[in-house]
Structure 1
Amino acid sequence: MPTTNSASAAWLTQEAFDRLQAELAQLSGPGRAEIVSKIEQARSEGDLKENGGYHAAKDEQGKIEARIRQLSELLRDAQVGEAPADDGVVEQGMVVVANIAGNKTRFLLGSREVGAAEMDVFSERSPLGGAIHGHKVGDKLSYIAPNGKTIDVEILEATPYREA
């Protein structure tokens, strides 16, 4: 089980890590075999230029291979385990409530792969995530959004994420 403190590592719960490992195993084994079979079957139907089944299968293969690469990288570098300390400091694995440009917003700072469907998720690599990481409850700051606007932020709460 990877546990790295790299700034680029995504924080994942053990449950999310295990679920993503299972997805990677399925895609790398049975998923690949199934798509290869589909491609071979479509190839046997003749002219590949006009073979919609072949092109659809090749597109599906590309998507599977991209997801395998994405999962492999994510799992290789993931910071796995318990939520961070409940010390009010914003870091990966924290549920943050912040006043962002006058709007109270609740979100998880971490990876979308955690599966926190009940709230938005921002990566530490996002402009907002990068700006608030390391700050504490009560801090007021601003950051430059991708559109060039300055966005004011006040951190109201920061608590560890807990799986539902």
Structure 2
Amino acid sequence: MQRYPMTPEGKTALEKELQQLKTVERPRIIQAIAEAREHGDLKENAEYHAAREQQGFCEGRIQDIEAKLGASQVIDVTELEKNGRVVFGVTVTIENLDTEEQKTYKIVGDDEADFKINKISVNSPIARGLLGKSEGDEAKITTPQGEVEYEIVNVKYI
């Protein structure tokens, strides 16, 4: 069985989304279907078909979240040995050796990843290139623009 690594915050977010889908969205969609049925002929009823489509998406997402939570492996980085190594859940600052530009990323699970707020998936090329390395190490990471060399400046277990 495939395990889904996630931070405690990621697990909480998925649980909240699941609760929202089950207690708010699902009843709203059921009500929309009931109202659309009252309008008569279902073959040409756009409201009914739209509500049924929403129901399919909602139920699919519920099943997806339940499966991921059931197979989750919650990793709390604050409980890990702080040895300066890049592992799942750490916040790492890296410096591009060519441009001297620094970036800070938190390595998280796939569902938590959001590049806009510097949370990258553990399965991303950057994270895969950094995992297992320590502060001061250099890492060559293949990007769409070519190979880029980074130095690991800081690793925080927060």
Question: Which TM-score bucket, shorter chain as reference?
Answer: 0.7 to 0.9
Secondary structure at the aligned position of 1:10 is classed as strand
Q: Deviations over 1:103-124 (max 9, x none)?
A: 2111110137559899311111
TM-score w.r.t. length of structure 2: 0.76
Q: Summarize the alignment of residues 58-77 of structure 1 with structure 2, pairs less than 5 Å apart.
A: 58-77=52-71
Do the aligned partners of residues 48 and 148 (structure 1) sit closer, same or farther apart at CA in structure 2, a change above 3 Å counting? farther
Tell me the matched-pair count. Answer: 154
Secondary structure at the aligned position of 2:84 is classed as coil
Read off the aligned partner of 1:98 and give its amino acid letter. Answer: I
Structure having the higher Rg: 2
Equivalence for 2:30: 36
Q: CA RMSD in A?
A: 3.1
Q: CA deviation at 1:26?
A: 3.8
Do the aligned partners of residues 155 and 113 (structure 1) sit closer, same or farther apart at CA in structure 2, a change above 3 Å counting? same
Detail structure 1 runs of 4+ shifted over 6 Å in the superposition. 115-118
Do the aligned partners of residues 70 and 156 (structure 1) sit closer, same or farther apart at CA in structure 2, a change above 3 Å counting? farther
Q: Which runs of 5+ in 1 are unaligned?
A: 1-5
Q: CA deviation at 1:25?
A: 3.4
Secondary structure at the aligned position of 2:93 is classed as strand
Of 118, 135, 152, 1:155 maps to 152
Equivalence for 2:92: 96
Do the aligned partners of residues 7 and 65 (structure 1) sit closer, same or farther apart at CA in structure 2, a change above 3 Å counting? closer
Q: Which runs of 5+ in 2 are unaligned?
A: none
